[in-house]
């Protein structure tokens, strides 16, 4: 990265998950005046272990979680006091109107003539009761930002459809891994005894790993894979009991991190995440694996690309959740080892050239300098 932001940068986050810490540490190296991140503790039921910052500074927030569900809101005590102490040249905040302390931070920066950037998923059109009022309030909130950064083209289109100027909207695909330094492991042209399907991540209900067990059991015997489910979480014991009945070929090595994951990625032929979330998908792609993913918030469209006239694609997004669709997609994927190898090479190309921490940092620095 040859471009730097010449000032001091401040970033507000509700929480600081580990995958985001790597991004902030790298971004801090491009901020000549330094980077301070204001973030608090998650709710007890979120199962988020806060990440550790090295190059960046972590300023702890005191999060007050209000109500829940559709009415959830958060007040971050100490936000303006942090701004006074850090005195940044630019501020990036989560573009979420549910964070009730953010307007005061916006006002603090505006009084000093300093830019504020909103960072968010997008702005899907609200529906139901009071949708018109909610839309107008959201637009008024987003108009206060000097620029908006979103994870995906879908998010950018939503902001533009809301009426925000296209020239103030930027896309920084959501990256979790740096540009790979090594080539992916070499894999044989044909499967060995059985294909190997891998999942890495938290074992929780929203990952829909019960669907994965049932879908593998529905495959013809010759395509039934060795299934590696790597991780731990609240659903671990229930999944092991289900696997013993439904799919005894499933293996549960437990939680693995860092270099401990290398043998699992190297042994796999295909990475599968039937549910939502899971930035381990990018790590799998960096190891040259094709992927199957559930539908997401638009960021999946950047990662998982179907075959086209000019590309083999690198995987499949499930058209709908459930065992039948997943079983059909697994059958298609595991029918050809050679096709999976071509798709894995495309996965590697995507994270090496397009979606990685270095490119994400580059977009942020570009936006800040443009202001």
pLDDT in tens, 321-336: 999 999 999 999 999 9
Name the band, by pLDDT with cuts 50, 70 and 90, for residue 13. very high
| pLDDT for residue 1 is more than 70 | no
Which of 187, 201, 190, 214 minimizes the C-alpha distance to 255? 201
* pLDDT for position 117: 98
The per-residue pLDDT of the chain, averaged, comes to: 92
- Cα torsion through 177, 4, 370, 279, rounded to 10: 10
Res. 257: pLDDT tops 90: no
- Of the pLDDT bands very low, low, confident and very high (cuts 50, 70, 90), residue 86 is very high
* The pLDDT value given to residue 16: 94
- Distance from C-alpha of 144 to C-alpha of 164, rounded to nearest angstrom: 10
Q: Which residue ranges form the domains of the chain, and what is each CATH number?
A: 9-175+356-370 (3.40.50.2000), 196-353 (3.40.50.2000)
pTM: 0.88
Look at residue 63 in the predicted model and tell me its pLDDT. Answer: 94
Band the pLDDT of 264: cuts 50, 70, 90.
very high
Confidence grade of residue 32 (pLDDT, cut at 50, 70, 90): very high
Q: Name residue, tokens 């107008």.
A: 136
Give the Å distances, CA to CA, from 357 to 10, 14, 67, 280: 19, 21, 34, 14
Q: What confidence score (pLDDT) does residue 128 get?
A: 65
Residue 143: pLDDT band with limits 50, 70, 90:
very high
Contact indicator for 34, 4 with CB cutoff of 8 Å: no
Tell me the mean pLDDT in the region 275-295.
Answer: 90
Please state the rounded mean pLDDT for residues 279-291: 93
pLDDT at 296: 67
* pLDDT attached to residue 310: 85
Average pLDDT for residues 179-191, to the nearest whole number? Answer: 92
Task: Check pLDDT > 70 for residue 251.
Answer: yes
pLDDT greater than 90 at residue 355: yes
d(C-alpha 176, C-alpha 18), whole Å? 10
Contact yes or no for 19/60 (Cβ under 8 A): no
């Amino acid at each position: 990265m040859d471009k730097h932001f010449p000032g001091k940068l401040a970033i507000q986050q509700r929480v600081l998950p580990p995958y985001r810490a790597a991004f902030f540490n790298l971004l801090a190296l491009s901020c000549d005046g330094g980077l301070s991140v204001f973030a608090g503790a998650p709710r007890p039921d979120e199962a988020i272990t806060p990440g550790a910052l090295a190059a960046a500074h972590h300023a702890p927030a005191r999060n007050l979680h209000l109500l829940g569900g559709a009415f959830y809101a958060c007040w971050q005590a100490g936000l303006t006091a942090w701004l006074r102490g850090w005195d940044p040249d630019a501020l990036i905040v989560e573009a979420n109107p549910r964070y009730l302390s953010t307007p005061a931070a916006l006002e603090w920066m505006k009084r000093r003539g300093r830019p504020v950037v909103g960072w968010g998923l997008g702005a899907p059109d609200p529906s139901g009761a009071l949708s018109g009022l909610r839309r107008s309030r959201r637009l008024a909130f987003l108009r206060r930002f000097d620029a908006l950064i979103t994870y995906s083209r879908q998010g950018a289109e939503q902001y533009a459809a809301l009426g925000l100027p296209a020239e103030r909207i930027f896309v920084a695909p959501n990256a979790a891994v740096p540009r790979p330094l090594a080539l992916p492991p070499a894999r044989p042209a044909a499967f060995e005894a059985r294909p190997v399907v891998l999942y890495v991540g938290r074992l929780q209900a929203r990952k829909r790993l019960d669907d994965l067990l049932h879908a593998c059991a529905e495959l013809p015997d010759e395509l039934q894979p060795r299934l590696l489910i790597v991780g731990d979480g609240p659903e671990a014991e229930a999944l092991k009991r289900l696997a013993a009945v439904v799919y005894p070929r499933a293996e549960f090595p437990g939680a693995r991190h860092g270099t401990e994951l290398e043998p699992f990625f190297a042994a796999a032929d295909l990475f599968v995440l039937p549910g939502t979330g899971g930035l381990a998908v990018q790590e799998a792609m960096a190891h040259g694996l094709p992927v199957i993913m559930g539908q997401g918030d638009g960021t999946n469209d950047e990662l998982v690309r179907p075959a086209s006239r000019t590309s083999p694609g690198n995987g499949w997004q499930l058209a709908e959740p459930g065992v039948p669709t997943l079983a059909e997609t697994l059958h298609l994927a595991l029918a050809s080892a050679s096709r999976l190898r071509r798709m894995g090479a495309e996965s590697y190309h995507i994270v090496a050239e397009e979606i990685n921490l270095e490119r994400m940092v580059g977009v942020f620095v570009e936006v800040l300098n443009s202001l």
